[in-house]
Amino acid sequence: MPDRFVEDWRTLVSQTALATRQIISDIVIQHEHDLRQRYGSYLLADPELAELMHAEDIRHEFAGRFVEWVKRLVDPNATAGDLFFTEQHQIGELLARIGFPPHALARSTRKLKLWFLRHLAERNVPREQLVDMMTFIITLFDIALEVRETSYQQEITVDVRVTEAYRLHLLGQNLAMERERQRAALMEWGHAILAAFYQRVPAGSLPKLWKADFGLWLNHKAHILFEREPKLARIRAAVDRVDTQLVPRLQALTFENPEDVRETTRQIEEEIASIKFLVNTIFDEHIEIESGRDPLTRLLTRRFMPSVLMREVHLQKAPNASGFCVLLIDVDHFKTINDTYGHKAGDQALSLIAAAINDNVRQTDFVFRYGGEEILVLLIECDERQGLQRAEKIRIGVENLVIPVADGVDVSVTVSIGLAAFQGELDYKAILTRADRAVYEAKSLGRNRVVIADPRSLTRSDLSTAL
């Protein structure tokens, strides 16, 4: 924990009279029950906290811990700043681990300060002492909150990194093989439930999909592998329908109702087919995306571009940094190729253009498919003069291409390039904005040219972003 926190705490304690701190401690002790009740009500009133602490005994225990924390925080005999901060640090880590909403840290501290101020206002003390007590309360809880928020964020960051590392580990297990494994597990459950039904297993013993290998994978691994994938919710809903509606219905049927059996098994098979389709779709999409390559051009996907650009901006803080350049490349009259020769010809042209661009950059540079017929090149360790030379090399390389679009028909294409050299921006989006304006200028000047972005073209909003 930074020494400044400890120093701030010690300064605050040394500047506040013991009698003043004793009054504050007495308020907590005298009104402990009220504080516990109010905090418990706060946990219940906040929707996110109520969901997190859904049981009354959990809220009661947490409110009790909260009051004990407040009592230790205002203890007039507390002198060990390092112990104080160790506890705040541990609390921050705990709140992160249990999923305590970020907003609740500041909100609960704000409510606590107001609670103290109301009770202080009822005290018959000199005005100067009242101001000292208010100052102590506000500053003390602000310091504690800052420590907790710092620890909270550190714990969240570590958790995100660990989760991402595990996700990458799972991705490295071969997504295509994992897809086949889960499809097989799903079909195996389908065969198992029909076999169990026809063997007339005891009531309530038909296998549930959530407890099968596929269900366990869906519940424990899929959300890590496919983070924020909306189709997972549809799969879970289908599994719920199978386990809560169709399996119990099948369990209640007998062979004396063959039509009902056929109808129920048909519905189960339909749900399995729907789940399998969604699983295939998710895997197919991520096999392409997670490879980091655009399937048509084989360039890097835009998904990883923010991380790469943010790191390059960060690297410019080093004393020996030599800058970087962004080239935003737009294919001239690309729509004409699509309209005249068809989208297949357009795809062929875009693929060859991407290859030509790759051939004219260094292996250490980054080339992204930015969207449609736009390609973004990040030239690392590159100043504006070098960037212009590289951009001209790319422009000429594309201009010299011969692109077959139909039997016996070849076309040539050109590109307009906007070049933006790093100018000390803190936000990479400001660089992209300059490059985008330079591309627009290149097109307005007749296309097939490179235009260097003017740093003076930044608007007031751009500058506020960059700063």
Active site (catalytic) residues: 373
Q: Terminal CA-to-CA distance of the chain, rounded, Å? A: 29
Which DSSP string do the residues of 412-451 spell out, in sequence order?
Answer: ---EEEEEEE--S-SSHHHHHHHHHHHHHHHHHTTSSSEE
- In 10 A of CB 349, how many CB atoms? 23
What whole-number distance in Å separates Cα of residue 82 and Cα of residue 86? Answer: 6
CA proximity to 432, closest of 292, 358, 327: 327
What whole-number distance in Å separates Cα of residue 360 and Cα of residue 230? Answer: 39
Half-sphere exposure of 25 (CA within 13 A, CB side): 14
- Paired tokens of 161: 């990194």
The owner of tokens 């991520």 is 286
Residue 93, C-beta contacts closer than 8 angstroms, at least 6 positions apart: 151, 152, 154, 155
What whole-number distance in Å separates Cα of residue 207 and Cα of residue 117? Answer: 60
What whole-number distance in Å separates Cα of residue 218 and Cα of residue 225? Answer: 10
Per DSSP, what are the bridge partners of residue 410?
Answer: 404
How far does Cα 247 stand from its chain's mean position? 37
Specify whether the CB–CB gap between 272 and 187 falls below 8 A: yes
Q: Which residues of 179-196 are buried (b: 16+ CB within 10 A; e: fewer)?
A: beebbebbeebbeebbeb
CA proximity to 358, closest of 388, 383, 390: 390
- Paired tokens of 126: 């000199």
Phi-psi category of 208—alpha, beta or left, where left has phi over 0 and alpha has psi -120 to 50? Answer: beta
Pairing relationship of beta strands 415-421 and 450-452 according to DSSP bridges? parallel
Percent helix, percent strand, percent coil in the chain, to nearest 5: 70, 10, 20
How far does Cα 73 stand from its chain's mean position? 34
What whole-number distance in Å separates Cα of residue 54 and Cα of residue 47? Answer: 10
